[in-house]
Every structure is written in C-alpha cells, then in structure tokens.
C-alpha cells in the first residue's frame, strides 16, 4: 500500500490506494507545485507556451505522437463531420465562430484545446428544450477527417432549464482531431452524456470537455475510450451555482501500443454541490498505457461539498502500464465529505490457475474477471443501446487477446 493524498480523510469516506507489487504502475498524489485552480486558461493558442513534455499537464503524454497538435505544426487539412440524430424536440445549429454562446461552458486549459478553439471554423450547437423530457437519446456522431488528415472541431450541447436529455457523443473514423466539447446544463436540468471514443487504430484525439452545471443541475458524464492510437480526454466540471450534482464515469480498455489518457478536474467553487468520479480501465498487450488524473479542488466558498473519486485499473497481461494520480485540494473545513481512492491490480497467473483448476477455460476466466470489473460502470450507463454495444466491444477486445 502506498499512502496517498494531499488533503485526505477530512470527513467520511477517506482515502485508500493500493498497487500490486509486480505491476508497472504509478499511484501517486504528489503535492502539486501550484493549486490546480491556478492553471493558466485562455481561448487564444498564442497565449500558451509550447509544451515540451515535462509540464505537469503533459508529463505522461507521448508528445511525438501528438502529430504537432501541441506546437502549431498540425495544419487543418480535413474536416471532422458532425451528424446529429435525435428526437424532434432538439434543435441542431451549425454556427460560426462569432456565436456568443461558444465558450460559455469553459475556457481551454491546455495548448491543444486552445489550438482547437483558435482553429475551428464552424461549431455544432445541439439544444434540448427546457421543461421537457426527451423521449429518446440524441446521437452526435463525430467522424474523423480520415487517415493522415487533421481537423479541429467544436460541439456544444445545451439543455435549457428544467429540461431532461440524454446524448451519445460517438467518435468514429480515422485521422487527427482536437476539439472542445461543451455541456451547458441549465438550472434544474438533467443531462446524461456518454462520450464514446471508438476510433480506428490510427486516430489521435485530444479533447477538452467542459461541463457547466447551473443551479440544482444534474449531469451524468460517461467517457468510454476503446479505440485510437492516442486519446486524451480532459473533462472539467464547474458549478455555476449551488445544488449541482455531477457524476463522472469512465471506462477504458487499452490494447498493445495504445495511449489513453483521462484528465479530470472538478472545480468546486459553489456550496452544496456533489461530485462523484468513478473511472475503471483495463490494459492488455505490450505498451498499452493508460493515465488517469483526478484533480478535485474544493474552494473556500464551496461549503457542504460532497465529493468522492475512485480510479481502478486492471492489468491483464505483461507489458501494460497504468498511471493513476488522484489529487484532492481542500480549502474549507465545512464539507460533507471528501475522499479518493486509486488501485491498480493485475490479473495474474495464480488467479488464472485457480479459475482454470475449477474447469473454467482460459478465455472464459479472463472474461469472467473483466466483466466483473466493468460491471459496476456498465450498470450505470442508462442508455441501453450504448450499454449493449459496449458489452459487445469489451467482448471483442477480449477476443483480441486470446487470438
């Protein structure tokens, strides 16, 4: 066990972290040089320094594989096509850069997100009306620009006050994509989002997702990363007023050579808000690398905050590396509860032997363990079509390792 935590065990849930000895991993929670709340943000890419790779924000990312998204050399020579399919109550608009709503949910916090914000030509705005519960989920499909091409994109999903909606954000295809995705959840509104990164093998995708919750708003934000060569998704949640409730779920499955990075930031600046983070990842094959960063900041004004974050990783074969860095900063003593936990375990030969010694075949044993591992998250995905598709995708991933 490695003790972690900057400000743990303030009240309630507490903190725990564990790692098997023989797993290449890092579970750490070093005191950062500066508060997460002080990180530079801006819409203009030129205001950011070109990262070299040592910065806190970039230290786990293989910079060479970013194909120049971070240093200005990735010129947009393609388009990421956005198709929206949904119930008739929703409004879909294609707007230009001048639209005053863009940027409302948050400001880019790294150079790639700023590059995307400075480079996109058109944005897609999807609005679910207020005081209405949508009968079925909307699907926003982003198709990559194609192999060897680069695109910058922008999508904004809005739910007007007291509306209820579910949106599947589906990323498919090839190429290099950087984008910002905004979720503007109005007062008293409820939004369920599942962002699926189901890219082709060649794809590079760097995405900042801005989650803005109004008063008493509820947002369930689920990130599922399966495909791609390099995928880096940074969801940031902010509360505009009190009473907000955000659940951030994640499921990732990295194969040989894939880099999957999820950087979360929950900024509690308002009182009486809740956040609950649960990310689970599995790794298999040589060079599979996952990174999970969970920054939670409870500012002085955020009294009665209730937050918990958990990351678990399952290393299925040799040669994978899971980095997991929870970081909880608390600036007020008046909170309901705050805690974090992180653990990386290995599906080892002993477990495999034990299951097999009871007659269970190897591939089934592996499936049993992985299904059980992801079950908790899959059950929380309340869009049945997506859940079934993910179950099938996970089975397919498992087929791959047994092949």
Partner 1 sequence: MATLEIKDLHASVVTDEGTKEILAGVNLTIRSGETHAIMGPNGSGKSTLSYAIAGHPRYRVTSGEVLLDGENVLEMGVDERARAGLFLAMQYPVEVPGVSMSNFLRSAATAVRGEAPKLRHWVKEVKDEMGKLDIAGEFADRSVNEGFSGGEKKRHEILQLSLLKPKFAILDETDSGLDVDALHVVSKGVNEFRENNDAGIMLITHYSRILKHVEPDYVHVFAEGRIVESGGKELADDLEENGYMKFTGQAEPAKA
- Give me the residues that bind partner 1 (CB under 8 A), please: 345, 349-351, 353-362, 364-365, 368-369, 372-373
Whichever of 188 and 345 has its CB closer to partner 1, that residue is: 345
Minimum distance from residue 308 beta carbon to partner 1 (Å): 19
Radius of gyration of the chain (CA): 20
Minimum distance from residue 375 beta carbon to partner 1 (Å): 8
Whichever of 296 and 343 has its CB closer to partner 1, that residue is: 343
Q: Write out the DSSP string of 192-214.
A: EEEEEE---TT-EEEEEEEEEE-
Minimum distance from residue 393 beta carbon to partner 1 (Å): 19
**Phi/psi zone of residue 162: left (φ > 0), alpha (ψ -120 to 50 degrees), beta?**
left
Asked whether 321 and 283 are in contact (CB, 8 A), the reply is yes
Whichever of 365 and 383 has its CB closer to partner 1, that residue is: 365
Whichever of 359 and 384 has its CB closer to partner 1, that residue is: 359
The whole-angstrom separation of Cα 219 and Cα 158 is 12
Tokens describing residue 64: 């060479």
**Cβ-Cβ contacts under 8 Å for 232 (sequence gap 6 or more):** 61, 112, 205, 206, 207, 259, 260, 261, 262, 263
Whichever of 357 and 403 has its CB closer to partner 1, that residue is: 357
Minimum distance from residue 241 beta carbon to partner 1 (Å): 38
Whichever of 219 and 390 has its CB closer to partner 1, that residue is: 390
Minimum distance from residue 365 beta carbon to partner 1 (Å): 8
Q: Which among 310, 309, 247 has a CA at the least distance from the CA of 273?
A: 247
Strand order in the sheet with 81-85: 14-19, 337-346, 306-315, 274-283, 245-254, 218-225, 190-197, 164-172, 138-143, 81-85
Whichever of 292 and 373 has its CB closer to partner 1, that residue is: 373
Asked whether 34 and 9 are in contact (CB, 8 A), the reply is no
Minimum distance from residue 284 beta carbon to partner 1 (Å): 16
Minimum distance from residue 238 beta carbon to partner 1 (Å): 33
Minimum distance from residue 350 beta carbon to partner 1 (Å): 5
Minimum distance from residue 343 beta carbon to partner 1 (Å): 9
Minimum distance from residue 371 beta carbon to partner 1 (Å): 9
Burial of 396 per CB tally in 10 Å (0-12, 13-18, 19+) = exposed
The whole-angstrom separation of Cα 240 and Cα 84 is 27
The whole-angstrom separation of Cα 140 and Cα 212 is 19
Burial of 352 per CB tally in 10 Å (0-12, 13-18, 19+) = middle
Whichever of 28 and 376 has its CB closer to partner 1, that residue is: 376
Facing residues of 236 across strands?
210, 265
The whole-angstrom separation of Cα 262 and Cα 35 is 19
Q: Are strands 337-346 and 14-19 parallel, antiparallel or unpaired?
A: parallel
Minimum distance from residue 313 beta carbon to partner 1 (Å): 12
Whichever of 49 and 357 has its CB closer to partner 1, that residue is: 357
Whichever of 61 and 324 has its CB closer to partner 1, that residue is: 324
* Residue labelled with tokens 């498919």: 172
Whichever of 121 and 356 has its CB closer to partner 1, that residue is: 356
């Amino acid at each position: 066990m490695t003790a972690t935590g900057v400000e743990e065990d303030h009240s309630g849930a507490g903190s725990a972290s564990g790692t098997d000895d023989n797993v290449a991993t890092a579970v750490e929670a070093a005191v950062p040089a500066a508060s997460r709340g002080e990180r530079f943000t801006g819409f203009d890419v030129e205001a950011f320094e070109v990262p070299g790779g040592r910065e806190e924000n970039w230290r786990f990312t293989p910079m060479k594989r970013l194909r120049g998204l971070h240093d200005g050399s990735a010129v947009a020579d393609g388009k990421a096509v956005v198709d929206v399919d949904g119930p008739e109550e929703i409004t879909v608009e294609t707007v230009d850069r001048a639209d005053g709503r863009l940027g409302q949910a948050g400001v880019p916090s790294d150079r790639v997100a700023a590059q995307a914000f400075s480079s996109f030509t058109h944005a897609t705005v999807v609005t679910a009306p207020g005081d209405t519960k949508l009968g079925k989920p909307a699907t926003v499909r982003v198709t990559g620009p194609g192999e060897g091409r680069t695109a910058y994109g922008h999508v904004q999903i809005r739910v007007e006050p007291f509306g209820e909606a579910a949106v599947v954000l589906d990323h498919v295809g090839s190429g290099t994509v950087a984008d910002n995705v905004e979720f503007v959840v109005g007062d008293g509104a409820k939004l369920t989002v599942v962002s699926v990164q189901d890219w082709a093998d060649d794809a590079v995708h760097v995405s900042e997702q801005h989650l803005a919750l109004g008063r008493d708003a509820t947002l369930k934000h689920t990130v599922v990363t399966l495909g791609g060569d390099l995928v880096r998704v940074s969801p940031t949640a902010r509360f505009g007023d009190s009473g907000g409730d955000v659940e951030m779920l994640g499921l990732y499955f990295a194969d040989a050579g894939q880099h999957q990075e999820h950087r979360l930031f929950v900024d509690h600046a308002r009182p009486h808000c809740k956040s609950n983070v649960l990310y689970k990842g599995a790794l298999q094959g040589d060079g599979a690398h996952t990174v999970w960063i969970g920054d939670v900041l409870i500012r002085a004004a955020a009294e009665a905050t209730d937050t918990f974050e958990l990351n678990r990783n399952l290393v299925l074969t040799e040669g994978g590396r899971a980095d997991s860095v929870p970081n909880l900063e608390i600036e007020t003593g008046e909170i309901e509860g705050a805690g974090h936990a992180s653990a990386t375990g290995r599906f080892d030969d002993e477990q495999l032997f034990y299951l097999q010694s009871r007659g269970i075949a190897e591939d089934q044993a592996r499936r049993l363990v992985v299904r059980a591992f992801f079950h908790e998250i899959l059950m929380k995905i309340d869009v049945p079509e997506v859940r079934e598709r993910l179950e099938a995708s996970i089975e397919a991933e498992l087929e791959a390792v047994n092949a």
